[in-house]
Chains A and B, each alone.
Chain A
Amino acid sequence: MDELITMTAAELSAAVAAGDVSAAEVTGAHLERIAAVDERVRAFLHVAAEDALAQAREVDRKRAAGEPLGLLAGVPVAVKDLFTTVGAPATCGSKILEGWYPPYESTITGRLRDAGAVLIGKTNMDEFAMGSSTENSGYGPSHNPWDLARVPGGSSGGSAAAVAAYEAPLALGTDTGGSIRQPASVCGIVGTKPTYGGSSRYGVVAFASSLDTPGPFGRNVLDTALLHEAMSGHDPLDSTSIDAPVPPVVAAARHGDVSGMRIGIVTDLSGAGYQPGVMSRFTEAVELLESLGAKVTELSCPHFRYALPAYYLIAPSECSSNLARFDGMRFGLRAGSGSAEEVMAQTRAAGFGTEVKRRIMLGTHALSSGYYDAYYGKAQQVRTLIIADFEAAFGQVDVLVSPVTPTTAFRLGERADDPMAMYLADLCTIPANLAGNAAISVPCGLADEDGMPVGLQVMAPPLADDRLYRVAAAVEAAFTARLGHPLLTESKGLDA
């Protein structure tokens, strides 16, 4: 492999800033990697080769002119295909948006451009972020670089696969019920769901507004923190964005120190249905943290067992309304003919996939008159109880830990016809979305049964995102020291 594609984002931006390598060379190397492997991984829906090189040359020009360079100067970033970026399509993995070029830039990608990042392409995803495998994409699934017969997780599976396959050192995703953490876990990389409101949703096509959280992917903890910091901060265009300083995540990532830290194991997120290899890696990680000086206790969050059903009322309810605008009137697909009503109906019938239709119907029913109180209203009450569980837990410990997802990456097609089995992939990640907390997935080894990566989930209170990185950096350092190399280099799916 070209050395440029195995360098970390931190190394790349330093090298570009120092003039050791040009941003154009860095981008070129990644474009070559994409050309070499993406036919097999299918992480990208759109590769912006010309545009990416132009962005890179602009970074090089700035450097030559002595202008200040940003935090991510010359670092390629892959972007989940639901961020709007000027000059590239945004399909959200859906046929209904095929060919739509957004006329405006999302706040986050705008910030990344300002930080010198090179937006290299748009990545595959489950349609409108609904799914845990990318199999719900209207453009075919992505593949897990560790084992191409397996899914890369989802919904941000394309972004996770791109980073794990060295097609980009960093990627953007969104996490509504686990859509960053679960693919990060099953692809053996790092992924963070920031505090809700910590990263702007402006220009991020909505699935479920009260849950959607844009966040970073990286191959290591520090890179992930760099992207986290560059993309975050208050945005007046997003009313739910928090007007507070960005937590010091980069500083935390540089100081992986857990001595004296109080860590709580959520006992409710374990047991039957969890793959043994996942549980043993999780247990080892906890022992490791204890050996590094953390005070580990077990505690229960009794309402977490209701998180999944509550989520499957709230998220579909919001999506049924958010996705109403896809009607063939102003943009995207237009199908059929006749009255406006007929065109709307035929466009939606033709443009949306099965899972999206299922959730729109679930949500439409849950919000309908006579059912609202029993479904949506009740789910919101459950949400309040889950927030209370978190608050009680964070009264006792600094962070909570659990597995990220009950199993390692499953095989393509294995759960495609069983929505309930698919939904269980998000069992451990959903509580943090319902409460708006910060949470991270950091690799903690390979499962014995299948040799596939396993992730450790760390959860922190809102706006305490830096705690995630302290714990994750400690885990990463200890595992790398034990293995003698980063875990990801054990992946043999592509370069064997």
Chain B
Amino acid sequence: MTVTYEEALQEYEPVFGLETHVELGTTTKMFCGCLTAFGAEPNTHVCPICLGLPGSLPAVNRLSIEYAIKIGLALNCSIAAWCRFARKNYFYPDMPKNFQISQYDEPLCTEGYLDVLVGGETVRIGIERVHLEEDTGKSLHVGGATGRIQGAEYSLVDYNRAGIPLVEIVTKPVPGTGFLAPEVAKAYVTELRDVLRTLGVSDVRMEEGSMRCDVNTSISPRGSGVWGTRTETKNVNSLRSVERAVRSEVARQAEVLGTGSRIRQETRHFHEDTGVTTSGRSKEEAQDYRYFPEPDLVPVAPSGSWVEEIRSSLPELPSARRGRLIEAWSLSELEFEALRNAGALDAVEATVAAGASPADARKWWLGELARRANDAGIDVSALPITPAQVARVAELVAAGTLNDRLARQVIEGVLDDEGTPDEVVAARGLAVVSDDSALTAAVDEAIAANPEVAAKIRDGKVAAAGALVGAVMKATRNKADATRVRELILERLS
């Protein structure tokens, strides 16, 4: 590609929108009693209903409606007092009935928004609709180069996924975010994922496909106010890919327009390995899904009291928590973002609850612990240390029993399964030496061994004391209280 994103932005303004499919975490499927568990042997979680056998009928899983309402409320949507399912008709082997039960012009939730934080600024993303539908089966195309149906020798279909409840969350188009568009898109998906996880309605694992994004992108010549033709990029299945997909599609569209061609309205596929999109099905010969109200299901009419009951049971949402923690911990929004992006919010909050100061808790989780998690290639929250143990380490440091260097060794011990912080301190003998008589000898030795440095200090070059402190610390294998060592050196040489 010759046009870069940066070059594209000189002439064009990106507009994007996201359609996110989320598999709900109900135990059973949307219209039958089959289990939704991921990873079972193919075609073992199936029955006449989710296989669409002749004569079978759907019956709605009440919990899926409740979950969708929860999501709608968390996204500040209106909940329809009456709505219907609709059939989306098209033929494909992984669709058992050759129609999908979805919602069309009567979605369950409409007109909401989600505020996301990017670079310390809040961007409000409009939510067009949230609706319920059933997932399809999963095709495996065997043979052929692309893994797609074209060119495959044969295809296998696993219907375990067919009928798992899905919620589709559709944003309004998001203009006006300029250069930050890819980051805003990613921040939206991140925030949405956090909301859904907080609600407990889905395990939101993008890598397992329980959360999948389609990214709509178009570009608008700067200052024109006219939006270009949009493309829909499918298969965008990680947070990083959301950002990359917007970025590469904006650049590609600018390049196409730059050569005097026009943008085709089409579906494009995102390639995780190369970060570019390739052309898929054209939407210009528009597929006609022949939607009509699903006659096998009665309308969904959630009562006002049920909706209010659900509303009152909502947990604290990420945005409310953000406001609360920013205030309680005196953070800037950037500091808060760093904490959230590191995946350390829960751990820090629990560490503070266990008695540590917010500053100490942040320091340990974003510093030493984040580094170790990174080395181990795991989430910081997955480290084998509890917030209470981190709080105890912080407490020992505050009390002067440990210095930072010793504290890191204590943490290492805990992570290596050597026991609690106190047990590691005892077993490794890690307490700080702050007894003057024990330190005086070491100080005297250091002065004797470094006469030139000592002379400089006597001449008033106090900064040179650092070298002697280092020597003492080395001699005491870092167990000394460095502040006290410095005081002793300066006393001796004054």
**A376→B89 CA distance, assembly (Å):** 15
A239/B55 in contact, CB under 8 A: no
Q: B292 at interface (Cβ–Cβ under 8 A)? A: yes
User: B97 to chain A: which residues have CB within 8 Å?
Assistant: 324-325
Q: B309 at interface (Cβ–Cβ under 8 A)? A: no
Q: B27 at interface (Cβ–Cβ under 8 A)? A: no
Task: Give per-residue flags for A119-131: 1 if the beta carbon is below 8 A from chain B beta carbons, else 0.
Answer: 0000000000000
User: A102 to chain B: which residues have CB within 8 Å?
Assistant: 48, 53-55
How many B residues have CB within 8 A of the partner chain?
32
> Which of A103, A204, A239, A321 meets B60, CB within 8 Å?
A239
The minimal Cβ–Cβ distance linking A166 to chain B, given in whole angstroms, is 29
The minimal Cβ–Cβ distance linking B73 to chain A, given in whole angstroms, is 25
User: B99 to chain A: which residues have CB within 8 Å?
Assistant: 321, 324
Classify the secondary structure of A's interface with B: loop
Q: A364 at interface (Cβ–Cβ under 8 A)? A: yes
B150: nearest chain-A partner, CB-CB: A339
B91/A201 in contact, CB under 8 A: no
B55/A206 in contact, CB under 8 A: yes
Q: A341 at interface (Cβ–Cβ under 8 A)? A: yes
Which of B181-189, B294-302, B466-474 contacts the other chain?
Answer: B294-302
Task: Give per-residue flags for A88-105: 1 if the beta carbon is below 8 A from chain B beta carbons, else 0.
Answer: 001010000100101110
Known: A239-B296, A240-B298, A341-B91. A103 touches B53 (CB 8 A): yes
**A217→B57 CA distance, assembly (Å):** 24
Interface residues in B253-302 (C-beta closer than 8 Å to A): 286, 288, 290-292, 295-298
Task: Give per-residue flags for B22-59: 1 if the beta carbon is below 8 A from chain A beta carbons, else 0.
Answer: 00000000000000000000000000100111111111
Which of A18-26, A110-118, A327-335, A452-460 contacts the other chain?
Answer: A327-335
Which of A275-283, A366-374, A396-404 contacts the other chain?
Answer: A366-374
B298/A327 in contact, CB under 8 A: no
Give the contact-size bracket for chain A. 35 or more
A321/B91 in contact, CB under 8 A: no
B48/A104 in contact, CB under 8 A: yes
Q: A491 at interface (Cβ–Cβ under 8 A)? A: no
The minimal Cβ–Cβ distance linking A241 to chain B, given in whole angstroms, is 9
The minimal Cβ–Cβ distance linking A222 to chain B, given in whole angstroms, is 30
B155: nearest chain-A partner, CB-CB: A340
Q: B87 at interface (Cβ–Cβ under 8 A)? A: yes
Q: A494 at interface (Cβ–Cβ under 8 A)? A: no
Q: A287 at interface (Cβ–Cβ under 8 A)? A: no
**A201→B58 CA distance, assembly (Å):** 11
Please count the residue pairs between chain A and chain B whose beta carbons lie under 8 angstroms apart in the complex.
Answer: 105
B296/A240 in contact, CB under 8 A: yes
Interface residues in A60-112 (C-beta closer than 8 Å to B): 82-84, 90, 92, 97, 100, 102-104, 106
User: A90 to chain B: which residues have CB within 8 Å?
Assistant: 54-55
Known: A103-B48, A318-B295, A321-B89. A84 touches B54 (CB 8 A): yes
The minimal Cβ–Cβ distance linking A324 to chain B, given in whole angstroms, is 3
Q: B96 at interface (Cβ–Cβ under 8 A)? A: yes
The minimal Cβ–Cβ distance linking B284 to chain A, given in whole angstroms, is 14
Known: A104-B48, A318-B295, A330-B96. A82 touches B55 (CB 8 A): yes
Q: A13 at interface (Cβ–Cβ under 8 A)? A: no
Q: B149 at interface (Cβ–Cβ under 8 A)? A: yes
> Which of A209, A327, A330, A331 meets B296, CB within 8 Å?
A209
Task: Give per-residue flags for A334-351: 1 if the beta carbon is below 8 A from chain B beta carbons, else 0.
Answer: 000001110010000000
Q: A247 at interface (Cβ–Cβ under 8 A)? A: no
Interface residues in B353-404 (C-beta closer than 8 Å to A): none
Task: Give per-residue flags for A242-272: 1 if the beta carbon is below 8 A from chain B beta carbons, else 0.
Answer: 0000000000000000000000000000000
**A344→B96 CA distance, assembly (Å):** 13
Interface residues in A360-386 (C-beta closer than 8 Å to B): 364, 367-369, 372, 376
Q: A11 at interface (Cβ–Cβ under 8 A)? A: no
A237/B55 in contact, CB under 8 A: no
Known: A327-B91, A327-B98, A340-B155. A321 touches B292 (CB 8 A): yes
Q: Kindly list the 7 A-B residue pairs having the minimum CB-CB distance in the complex, ordered from nearest.
A: A324-B98, A209-B295, A367-B290, A210-B295, A205-B54, A203-B55, A205-B55
Q: Which residues of B contact A (CB under 8 A)?
A: 48, 51-60, 87, 89, 91-93, 96-99, 149, 155, 157, 286, 288, 290-292, 295-298
